[in-house]
Structure 1
């Protein structure tokens, strides 16, 4: 696909009010600094992608007035006619300001921008417009093939990715075809990536080296642990001698143990006899204690009974005295209640008499002789009838009052009778209690006299201690216990020295027996040393194998990197690329550095950078199958540019051209 710009029109775009550029295959645009040359490139990128030529999306496209203030209420428009494979396409991008007047407000306010897009004069939305642009030329490809400096402005990883895409896949079959010895490495990968394989080899190498470093020390340790050889005949003779001595000591200890056990049995028998005698003495003493207690109780039995009787009489006396006090208090309370009732009845009788006098003096009310409905006085016969009724009511009320009065008088007489009865009953009960008190006091005095007389009598009872001391059986048994206790005295059997000597002989015996293991120990040590040496040899072989694999992996990477660089560099005329950086340890790591004649791109002058950039664009255009206009800023610094199939737009600084000039 070949894309050419035929015309580009800018209206109110940045510092340009209205300007149209007609492009040729090679177009030179002259102008002083800040005259708008770059604005043309910005307009083209804004038309296609909504960004300026430096990839900024938020740059200001609105024109400024002489004071530098943005001019409002303007439409910003860029349109172009492109020729794509001989066919013209007209595209247009317009930015319009949106001014909104809120309800109640007099002045409209700016509320944002809206963008309008046209493709061959047909309105399309933003998504459709961008899709059509991408069908022509995706944005990332556009940047790569229209700006000579863009490729090298990317991160090295992105540059390397583009170049790797150019070179195509470098397959394992390709490498093994060129280097057959690499097939063994590929077989060893076993599904791992080369990076994983190298990491495993490195880890295995480290483990082997660590283990190999330990083996010499372990061999030396085994050598130093080998004992000196011994004369087995001499050792066996010494063992027999020590064993006989050990057996003799063992028998001596057994004999002394038997004698000691026999003596212990005798002592235990004596101790049992002593225990039995003491138990018999305790039983005799218990019998004496019981007899003594019985005799004492018998001597004091009469006195104790009198004392108990005295206590009983004293308790009864106090009880009777309390009963008398309670009787007197209860009698006083009863009389008080009756007197209170009498007073209440008298008060009610007085009230009743007053009411009787009032009712008895009551006469017919004159108002009752007048009709309540008409207000006229009743007839004589009616008045007589009213008087009769009145008298009857009065009679009944007086009769009722008399009945109540009679009842109250009866109650009053009853209360008087209750007082008399209460006093009589009180005197009877009081007299009985007083009589009982006199009798109790007499009995109490009689018993007290008897107890006092008993205190002066003396009763002689043999003491418990005397009874025990006079008992011959106890004396005999105590003497027997003394004899038996003398038999408990014995000399303990001491065989501590024998045990110490036995332990010493046993230790010597073990030492001699261990000497017999010397040959076996030496043989085991020699075997272990040989195992360690064999292990060392095996590990050394394994380490060599791993180093061989590591070398093969490095060779694989080197071959692949060389092939990649050769392929990439073979595609360019001027530009060369360094895709791998050597490391101190002999390895390599990926990178991407563009050079020209051995000079890094960053150190080239402007002419060199544009030369290399156009070379890169030519290769990328061929790869992507798209040729697009190349914009060369600061073209005045370059005398000659390489031949290219792309349309070239030169932006040239010309101090004599204050306004843009297209040639």
Structure 2
């Protein structure tokens, strides 16, 4: 531990002090004086001697007394550095010159002279030697109780704490906590924040895709509905029939040109006549097969009546159970409404400290109220969620009750119908003999084919050219109809492609939803780690201090956390502490900083009269005490 002790300080014509010599104790020295008697000037003299600035860090301040012209300000200090004395002196000397031809000397500004152990030094050499003893920034942090907690920007304060406390990085924390093993494995070379940024970007992309998919699916489904109104089965059947008719016409034209059409027509006529004989024989066999014994249906009807009666009784019992469940749900919902009104009536009363009975600071009161409102909102949300579940179950019970009643009506109607059927039932007589199904239609069609074949034979025998023209006319009409049917079937291919695209888009929608759930799960792990890290770092930092406590993270509205570095004592922000506590917190911080830097320097405590007991600290302390009765500085 390096130690710098201020043994003595001499001021000559420095600011408002004409001449002052102070011997300092190694432990504590108190300087008493009324306001504007020069207490702070003593501190300014030391900082100017070392760094050319006043105690507030400004290099632009009035060094020379304004009421005594032509004086030479000088500050001399005896420092003891690790037991070795060092004498420093800085003198501000005016420069005067007489220009040629001018009898009166002119003021040309000031020059500063530097000596160390009475040896003159150049400015650069002097500054390098001082810097080798102590860094200016470190000196300010270790000599001013407000430098760290009040004057240092919070980001610099946080950076200093990280350096002083040796805080671990994210990966070091992750490897020490098994529950974050998955997150540690996923990071790779990235930090948690970088990994979280990647997940957030992926989530944004997945959401963008999910937002666009319903529109694309809707467009495809509209196209499907437009194409699905066409009767494709009929179009395919029509095409097959038209192709067959076209083939027959082409065959007829070919045979007509080759002279074999008449022979083919005669063969067709004979084939149709044979088909007619076969059909008549099959119908005769069918009629003969219908001579079978009759069957009495009364036993089957009685069994059906018994089955329906049992079903009807069971439906009535299940409907009664549904009614009981609906009534129980109404009672539960009424209880929840009473609880809801009780929660709504609750008011916030937590702005009073339970320990001291005083009103909490605005920030803590706001945090407590926010927590109260959040708790209240959470309980209301749970009530709403539970009520919704009960309502959903009640609604399903009502639907089930209606379905049971409706089914009971249908079963009762069927029961009455079957019972009436049984009452009116008359055992059947011998069945009526019927033809084959469609026999008359089939026989009429075959007969028509025979007549058409005979007419065709007559036309061929009378005029072949007229037959050719007729066949070509029919062929032209068939080709037009085939073109129309082919267009319909082409739309069928487009319909199949569009349906397949709908399936692809829906599959992609499910995949994106699954991916989004996985991303949200990983983000939740990151958020859990962030909360753990916040607490871990905060505890690590605060363990290094006796009084001071640091709030290093703040909760944001969106649920995330943001870096900060606020000095607190028992939950009270530094700015709201009284002057005495601010000074003692500053001493606590300086004690830790001194241990980190391995350095102890003179510590100046301004307004020391406000503190009845200074926090213990292992360094030289200079108290600047306001004393109305001391019109001149008094050193104790």
With the length of structure 2 as denominator, give the TM-score of the two structures.
0.60
Separation in 1 of the partners of 2:18 and 2:77?
Answer: 16
User: Where does 1:70-89 land on structure 2 (aligned, <5 Å)?
Assistant: 71-89=68-86
Report deviation, 1:46: 0.6
Partner of 1:621: 594
Partner of 1:660: 633
1:159 to 157, 160, 179: 157
Partner of 2:214: 216
Partner of 1:232: 235
Q: Which of structures 1 and 2 has the bigger CA Rg?
A: 1
Structure 1 SS opposite 2:554:
strand
User: Where does 1:390-405 land on structure 2 (aligned, <5 Å)?
Assistant: none
Asked if 1:600 corresponds to 2:591, the answer is no
User: Where does 1:256-271 land on structure 2 (aligned, <5 Å)?
Assistant: none
Distance verdict in 2 for CA 1:505–1:121, change over 3 Å = farther
Asked if 1:512 corresponds to 2:515, the answer is no
Asked if 1:11 corresponds to 2:9, the answer is no
Distance verdict in 2 for CA 1:239–1:623, change over 3 Å = same
Separation in 2 of the partners of 1:137 and 1:188?
Answer: 45
Separation in 1 of the partners of 2:547 and 2:39?
Answer: 28
Structure 2 SS opposite 1:523:
helix
Asked if 1:64 corresponds to 2:62, the answer is no
- Structure 1 gaps, min length 5: 66-70, 248-501
Structure 2 SS opposite 1:10:
strand
Partner of 2:43: 41
Separation in 1 of the partners of 2:591 and 2:547?
Answer: 11
Residues 508-561 of structure 1, C-alpha deviations (whole Å, 9 max, x = no match): 654421222354344323322221222122212221222233223333333333
Residues 281-303 of structure 1, C-alpha deviations (whole Å, 9 max, x = no match): xxxxxxxxxxxxxxxxxxxxxxx
Asked if 1:29 corresponds to 2:27, the answer is no
Report deviation, 1:30: 0.8
Structure 1 SS opposite 2:630:
coil
1:549 to 522, 529, 535: 522
Is the Cα–Cα contact under 8 Å of residues 8 and 21 in structure 2 kept in the other structure? Answer: yes
Is the Cα–Cα contact under 8 Å of residues 235 and 516 in structure 1 kept in the other structure? Answer: no
Separation in 1 of the partners of 2:246 and 2:165?
Answer: 91
Partner of 1:468: none
With the length of structure 1 as denominator, give the TM-score of the two structures.
0.57
Distance verdict in 2 for CA 1:600–1:109, change over 3 Å = same
Separation in 2 of the partners of 1:556 and 1:510?
Answer: 69
Separation in 2 of the partners of 1:620 and 1:163?
Answer: 9
Is the Cα–Cα contact under 8 Å of residues 608 and 623 in structure 2 kept in the other structure? Answer: yes
Partner of 2:533: 560
Is the Cα–Cα contact under 8 Å of residues 238 and 512 in structure 1 kept in the other structure? Answer: no
Distance verdict in 2 for CA 1:598–1:504, change over 3 Å = farther
Structure 1 SS opposite 2:614:
coil
Is the Cα–Cα contact under 8 Å of residues 236 and 489 in structure 2 kept in the other structure? Answer: no
Structure 2 SS opposite 1:95:
strand
Report deviation, 1:17: 1.0
Partner of 1:290: none
Separation in 2 of the partners of 1:563 and 1:242?
Answer: 88
Separation in 1 of the partners of 2:236 and 2:50?
Answer: 108
Residues 558-606 of structure 1, C-alpha deviations (whole Å, 9 max, x = no match): 3333222111111000000011111111111111100111110111111
Is the Cα–Cα contact under 8 Å of residues 242 and 508 in structure 1 kept in the other structure? Answer: no
Is the Cα–Cα contact under 8 Å of residues 170 and 560 in structure 1 kept in the other structure? Answer: no
Partner of 1:207: 205
Partner of 1:444: none
Asked if 1:580 corresponds to 2:553, the answer is yes
Asked if 1:184 corresponds to 2:187, the answer is no
Residues 45-73 of structure 1, C-alpha deviations (whole Å, 9 max, x = no match): 111111111111011110132xxxxx332
Asked if 1:52 corresponds to 2:49, the answer is no
Distance verdict in 2 for CA 1:73–1:233, change over 3 Å = closer
Is the Cα–Cα contact under 8 Å of residues 142 and 600 in structure 2 kept in the other structure? Answer: yes
Partner of 2:195: 197
Is the Cα–Cα contact under 8 Å of residues 164 and 564 in structure 1 kept in the other structure? Answer: no
Separation in 2 of the partners of 1:82 and 1:242?
Answer: 123
Separation in 1 of the partners of 2:118 and 2:585?
Answer: 39
Partner of 1:477: none
Separation in 1 of the partners of 2:523 and 2:127?
Answer: 51
Separation in 2 of the partners of 1:561 and 1:592?
Answer: 12
Structure 2 SS opposite 1:17:
strand
Residues 442-469 of structure 1, C-alpha deviations (whole Å, 9 max, x = no match): xxxxxxxxxxxxxxxxxxxxxxxxxxxx
Report deviation, 1:148: 0.3
Separation in 1 of the partners of 2:246 and 2:204?
Answer: 56
Is the Cα–Cα contact under 8 Å of residues 49 and 75 in structure 2 kept in the other structure? Answer: yes
Partner of 2:395: none
Is the Cα–Cα contact under 8 Å of residues 635 and 650 in structure 1 kept in the other structure? Answer: yes
Report deviation, 1:104: 0.9
Separation in 1 of the partners of 2:544 and 2:479?
Answer: 93
Residues 421-443 of structure 1, C-alpha deviations (whole Å, 9 max, x = no match): xxxxxxxxxxxxxxxxxxxxxxx
Structure 2 SS opposite 1:5:
strand
Separation in 2 of the partners of 1:190 and 1:643?
Answer: 47
- How many residues get paired? 403
Distance verdict in 2 for CA 1:123–1:537, change over 3 Å = same
Is the Cα–Cα contact under 8 Å of residues 37 and 632 in structure 2 kept in the other structure? Answer: yes
User: Where does 1:370-449 land on structure 2 (aligned, <5 Å)?
Assistant: none
Separation in 2 of the partners of 1:32 and 1:503?
Answer: 124
Separation in 2 of the partners of 1:620 and 1:50?
Answer: 24
2:120 to 99, 120, 123: 123
Partner of 2:582: 609
Residues 178-197 of structure 1, C-alpha deviations (whole Å, 9 max, x = no match): 22343433433343444433
Is the Cα–Cα contact under 8 Å of residues 239 and 513 in structure 1 kept in the other structure? Answer: no
Distance verdict in 2 for CA 1:124–1:519, change over 3 Å = same
Structure 2 SS opposite 1:529:
helix
Separation in 2 of the partners of 1:204 and 1:653?
Answer: 63
User: Where does 1:245-644 land on structure 2 (aligned, <5 Å)?
Assistant: 510-644=483-617
Separation in 1 of the partners of 2:123 and 2:526?
Answer: 51
